[in-house]
Amino acid sequence: MASKLKPITIKMPAEMVEQIKVIAGKRGETLSETVRYLINRGLEERIYEQNTELLQRVVRREVEAALRSYVIFPSLDNTEKTLRVVDRVFDRRVSLSRAPRAAVGKAGRRQ
């Protein structure tokens, strides 16, 4: 791996160098190895955050599409309005499927 490394010079505040030395001591690494490790972690975290945002958008879009496919009127994009329409239609269907009160006997069964 040493042959693939390119030397660079960077300037850091003294406090940062001391923090890196402490981390290097705890990890049992050289200062250069620790700097590479910390830079790599920072890059991975940044890439992870960017990918997380992308994944959130994709998942949200797919979930919304799946939910729309179950709505009676899929052209309605306003979720609140759609739910109210679905609730009204459901209530109508339930009331249509109930037996008239006169047809229900004292035992609660249809005659």
pLDDT at residue 11 in the model: 93
Beta pairing partners, 104: 110
Query: Among all chains, which residue has been given the structure tokens 């109210």?
Result: 84
Please tell me whether the overall predicted TM-score, pTM, comes out greater than 0.85 for this model: no
Same domain, 36 and 51: yes
pLDDT at residue 96 in the model: 47
Q: Looking at the 3D structure of the chain, how many domains does it have?
A: 2
Same domain, 97 and 62: no
pLDDT at residue 59 in the model: 84
pLDDT at residue 63 in the model: 83
Chain segment 17-36, per-residue pLDDT in tens: 999 999 999 999 999 999 99
In a domain? residue 44? yes
Same domain, 79 and 52: no
Q: Give the Cα separation of 58 and 54 in Å (integer).
A: 6
Same domain, 21 and 60: yes
In a domain? residue 109? yes
Report the amino acid identity of residue 42.
Answer: G
Same domain, 52 and 79: no
Residue 61: give the domain boundaries. Answer: 12-70
Chain segment 65-101, per-residue pLDDT in tens: 777 777 665 555 555 455 555 555 555 554 444 455 5
Same domain, 27 and 42: yes
Same domain, 32 and 53: yes
